[in-house]
Amino acid sequence: MTEASRNLSSWGRFHKVSAARVKTLEWRYQQLPSGSLTEKLLPYALGRSYGDSCLNSSHTHLLTQHLDRVLSFDRLRGILRCEAGLSLAAILELVLPEGWFLPVSPGTKWVSVGGAIANDVHGKNHHRAGNFGHHLREFELLRSDGQRLACSPTSNRDYFSATIGGLGLTGLITWAEIQLQPVLGPWIRQQTLCFANLEEFFTLSRQSLTHYAYTVAWIDSLAHGKNLGRGVFFQGNHGNKEDLAQLTIPRKKLATAVRTFPCDLPSWAFNRFSVGLFNQAYYRRQKMRGSAPTLVHYEPFFYPLDAVHHWNRMYGGKGFFQYQCVLPFAEGHQALGEMLRVIAQSGMGSFLAVLKEFGEIPSLGLLSFPRPGVTLALDFANRGAPLLALLDRLDAITRAAGGSVYPAKDARMSGEDFRCYFPRWEEFLAYIDPRFSSDFWRRVMEK
Ligand SMILES: Cc1cc2nc3c(=O)[nH]c(=O)nc-3n(C[C@H](O)[C@H](O)[C@H](O)COP(=O)(O)OP(=O)(O)OC[C@H]3O[C@@H](n4cnc5c(N)ncnc54)[C@H](O)[C@@H]3O)c2cc1C
C-alpha cells in the first residue's frame, strides 16, 4: 500500500481537499491500514460524486482505482465478478462484444463498481430494473477489524442492505458479482418527443413507461408563463432484430470524438441570457428534428456528457452544485411547477436539467435514494449567497412535498434534512465501520 498526499476534489469542484492523505490499494487481499479510531478511512474511487460524500478531509482516503481486475466472466449466463475499482466503461468494453450490457447505468460510464454500490445508483431504466443494487449477486466487504463478509441477498443480508447505498461507510467493498442483461448489440432504438408543459410530460411519461426500457427528459429550467415546464422527452429500447433490419445504422457512433474541456470558464458566463439562449435553441432544434425513431449508439444515448472530458471545468474554478430531488407522485406535479417557477424567477437556470419518473420497485439499501416519484436534477454554477438562497427554497419545496435529496449529488444539505429524508439512518448506524467516516457524514451527523 503506497502512502502519499495529493489534491482531491469531487465532481462539483466546490469541495476540495488540498494535500489529502491518500493510501493506494493494490491488492484485494491486503488488510486495511492500521491506526487509531480517530484516524478515519474512506474509499475514493473515480470521484464522480458531486459533493463531499467521497471526501475525507484531515483523514485518509483509500484510493481504489488499482483494484480493477476482472475475476471471472460467465459468458453464457452474463455473470461478471470483478474488483470494486473497475469502471463501468471497462465492463462495457469487455461484455458488450459478448452480447451483454450493464443492468443499470448512471449518466456517466466513469463510475466504479464500488461507487455504483455505495450510492446504489439509478439509470434511465429505474421503472423496469430498479437500482444497481438489485443486480448484485454477491460482494465482499472488508472491515477494519480484518473480517471479510460475503454479502448477498441470502448471506449477511443486513450488511448487504446497509452497504448498498451505504455511502462507503460500512467498510471496503473489495469485489462484486453482477448479473448483466443480454443485448443484441450496441444500438438503441430512440425516439425524441417535445413536450410543451408539465402536463404533457406526465402524459408522455406514463405512456412511455410501459413500452420503453429507458426514459428521461430534458427540461428548459428558464421557460416561464405558457412555456413553463417545456422540454424534450427521450425514450429508447435496446435494438431488436427488426430494428436492425429496418432502421439505418449510423455509420459512425456519435460519441467517438471525445474532447477535453480546455479551461475553467468564469461563473458569470452562466447567466439568464446565455442559459436562456441555449435552452431555446436546444428546444427548437429538437422540435425541427421531428420524432421519427432512429437507431443511435449506446454512448450518446446513455453518456452524452462523457463526450467532453472534464466538462465540469465549464463552471469555473468556484465549482458548481447539482440539486437532485425526488418528489412523491401525489405532490410531484404541483411541487415541480413551484420549483420551476422559483428557478425561472431567480434567473439562475441551468441547461443541464433532467426529469424522470422513478418506478415502484423498492430500493434494497437502508439509505438508497430512489423511491417512487418524479426526480429532477439541475446543475447550477456557484454564485455564492444568492444561489444558496435559491437552493434553500428548493429544499423547502422538497420537504413540504415529502421528497428527498440525493447525497451523491449533495454539497450542502443540513443534518436535520438528511434525517428527515432518510428515516432509516438510525438503523444504519449499527453497520458503520468504526474506522470509516466522510466529510458528508460528519456534516449531516454533527449539525
Ligand atoms: C456526469 C454524471 C452523471 C451522473 N449520473 C448519475 C445517474 O444518472 N444516476 C446516479 O445514481 N448517479 C449519477 N451520477 C453520480 C455517480 O453515479 C455516483 O456519485 C457514483 O457513486 C460515483 O462513483 P465513483 O466510482 O466515482 O465513486 P466516488 O465518487 O469516488 O465515491 C462515491 C462513494 O462510493 C464510495 N466507494 C467507492 N468505492 C468503494 C468501495 N470499493 N467500497 C466501499 N465504498 C466505496 C465512496 O466512499 C463514496 O462514498 C452521475 C455523476 C456524473 C459525474
CB of 391 shorter than 6 A to ligand 1? no
Tell me the best of 54, 55, 139, 352 to mutate to test the pocket of ligand 1, counting ligand atoms within 8 Å of each CB and taking the most. 54
Instruction: Supply 273's cell numbers.
Output: 441570457
| Residue ranges with strand state E in 348-391 | 353-358, 373-381
User: Rounded to an integer, what distance in angstroms lies between the CA atom of residue 354 and that of residue 349?
Assistant: 12
Whether the pLDDT of residue 267 is over 80: the answer is no
Give the helix/strand (H/E) hosting 443: helix 439-446
Only one residue has cell 449531516, namely 444
The HSE-up count of residue 223 (CA atoms within 13 Å, CB side) is 24
CB of 59 shorter than 6 A to ligand 1? no
Ligand 1 centre to CA of 61 (Å) is: 15
CB of 84 shorter than 6 A to ligand 1? yes
Query: Which residues, in sequence order, are CB contacts of 404 under 8 Å at separation 6+?
Result: 325, 326, 369, 371, 398, 421, 422
Architecture of domain 187-420: 2-Layer Sandwich (3.30)
Tell me the best of 119, 305, 357 to mutate to test the pocket of ligand 1, counting ligand atoms within 8 Å of each CB and taking the most. 119
Only one residue has cell 426500457, namely 213
pTM for this prediction = 0.95
Percent of residues, the chain, with pLDDT higher than 70: 96
Percent of residues, the chain, with pLDDT higher than 90: 74
Question: Taking residues 396-405, what's their average pLDDT?
Answer: 98
Instruction: Tell how strand 41-44 and strand 294-297 pair up.
Output: unpaired
Q: What is the pLDDT of residues 129-185, one digit of tens each?
A: 999 999 999 999 999 999 999 999 999 999 999 999 999 999 999 999 999 999 999
- Candidates 296, 220, 214; CA nearest to 255 is 296
What pLDDT was estimated at residue 343?
92
Q: What is the pLDDT of residues 272-296, one digit of tens each?
A: 777 777 777 887 888 888 788 899 9
CB of 11 shorter than 6 A to ligand 1? yes
Q: Residue whose CA is closest, atom 39 of ligand 1? A: 114
CB of 303 shorter than 6 A to ligand 1? no
CB of 403 shorter than 6 A to ligand 1? no
Instruction: Tell how strand 320-327 and strand 259-260 pair up.
Output: unpaired
CB of 173 shorter than 6 A to ligand 1? yes
Instruction: Supply 51's cell numbers.
Output: 459533493
What pLDDT was estimated at residue 246?
76
CB of 167 shorter than 6 A to ligand 1? yes
Q: What is the pLDDT of residues 153-164, one digit of tens each?
A: 999 999 999 999
User: Rounded to an integer, what distance in angstroms lies between the CA atom of residue 228 and that of residue 274?
Assistant: 18
The HSE-up count of residue 394 (CA atoms within 13 Å, CB side) is 33
CB of 121 shorter than 6 A to ligand 1? yes
Tell me the best of 105, 108, 357, 375 to mutate to test the pocket of ligand 1, counting ligand atoms within 8 Å of each CB and taking the most. 108
Instruction: Supply 134's cell numbers.
Output: 438489485
Is the separation of the CB atoms in 327 and 373 below 8 Å? yes
Ligand 1 centre to CA of 47 (Å) is: 7
Domain boundary assignment for the chain = 187-420
Ligand 1 centre to CA of 429 (Å) is: 21
CB of 365 shorter than 6 A to ligand 1? no
Tell me the best of 6, 9, 41, 48 to mutate to test the pocket of ligand 1, counting ligand atoms within 8 Å of each CB and taking the most. 48
- Counting atoms of ligand 1 from 1, which one is nearest the CA of 132? 11
User: Rounded to an integer, what distance in angstroms lies between the CA atom of residue 178 and that of residue 131?
Assistant: 12
Give the helix/strand (H/E) hosting 243: helix 241-246
Q: What is the pLDDT of residues 230-260, one digit of tens each?
A: 999 999 999 988 888 877 777 555 545 567 7
What pLDDT was estimated at residue 348?
85
CB of 168 shorter than 6 A to ligand 1? yes
Give the helix/strand (H/E) hosting 211: helix 198-211
